[in-house]
Structure 1
Amino acid sequence: MKLNPNYLFSITLLFFVNAISAQVKPLLVKRFYPKDSIKYSQAVPDAEFNYESKLYGKTTMIIHCESQYGHFEFVFKKKINKLSRMIDYKDGAVGEVYNFKTKKWVHEEGSWNHRDMKGKPQDTIIFSEHNLYAFILQQNHGGILEKAKFQDFGNVVYWPEFDYQKCSISDEDKDGAPEFYLSYMGESDGLDAKPFKQIIYTIFDKSGHQSYTKSKATAYYPDGNEDDVYNIQYDENWKKLPKNIKLKSQKILKDHQLKNVE
């Protein structure tokens, strides 16, 4: 029996598409916060929720990812170096510093005392001087290996903060290897622009060995300097990324701009 050439082509094409689909498995991704630490320990028994807490502070979020490249933990941490607060009254303000040993607020030298103030406090502003860290960890034969480390240290002007909803793991180029998207915002002294940094860690498999590349896009928001305009700068690694990964990065930047530019 002679088969129709179109039929043979359709069968061959279907087989080819199925073969590709079978090769690239979708990622399984789940977020865990401090309130989920017990659930995390049950779901990932080989990892600790508070990874290296003595060195890097408390864990604020973990994104767990299962892929054909392995199982990964994207760990976000904040190490607080100093907490202070300003308590506003009608006729002045009182400064206090948090004592981590006694777990109490104490008067900050050089500021007013509560006894000098009249009436009740009207507002309280808390300032945190802290370091931000993030780690990409990979499970390996029952253990955990650190594959990449991010850090950014804050001060009384900069105050960087993760934008947790804009931090994620996905496979935009559909090659089976996850990409790790990290986004965070820094403050300004009122003259320099405020930076929103969008960092991407990508995995490249070279002869069976995984290597990680860091790419960065930074959006600058004007903050007091009339000559500044909103602009985005891309590093050389970002420019070499596959198109679909760039598109996701640009969408993160655009969504942030829409919410933060009047």
Structure 2
Amino acid sequence: MKDLLLLSFNKVFFGALLLLITVTILGTYSEDVLALQTTKALFIPVFLIFFFVKNKSLSLPVISFFIFSFLGDASLAFFENDIFIKASSTFYFLSYICLIGIAISKFKFFEVDKVVGTYLIVVFLINAYFLYTLYGILKAIVPDSLEVFLFGVKNISLILLIFLAFGKYLANDTKPSILFLLVALCLVFSTILNYVSLYYVYSWSFVMLERVIYAIGIYLLLNYVMEENKSARILDKPQNSYNSDNIFA
């Protein structure tokens, strides 16, 4: 019976993702201004409503991520002033820091195999050089130094997030580590597409892909939370049975 309920919840939760993707595609394709402004701000509230139907709690770092991400989404959705655009970048940066905190708490770099560690460092340096190149290009295009600075810190945090998520996956090839890596990749690709739309060429297809990938990232993050909670319950069961034996002894 529990398996049937779990399967039903998974289907409903996945249905919520499909619904949001459909609304996003229709809104961007029709170029409806209201839909373009509001759909992204609905992602987190809708997913959390469905999530709490089956699950009762979230850790503080995950809650902080959703709060900052929602504030970033809302700043872009309802305000067009440059101040709110910069505020949005700041909120997103803080949300990435929350995910970095989650990754660091579960990743021990000095316990990683030397070959894997060297590979991770090389990948990190390549991405850092790529970011430095983009930073120089953006600095020549955008006159606002604060906006360029926020671009830099946001992307440094994303590179660090990818580094930790990939290292976690290589060190511990489990379903939660795969999900967390996919979350990090979704955030990176959605951010890149957002920059392309803002600074290079605006296209409804880029906006659509950015929001679809972002929605998938939020969906995968909540699935990661559910997998982590499931693993924690499994680990707690032997300890609980051991305690009950001690009581009767």
TM-score by length of structure 2 reads 0.25
By percentage of residues, which structure has more helix?
2
Which structure is higher in RCO with an 8 Å CA cutoff and minimum separation 6? Answer: 2
TM-score by length of structure 1 reads 0.24
By percentage of residues, which structure has more strand?
1
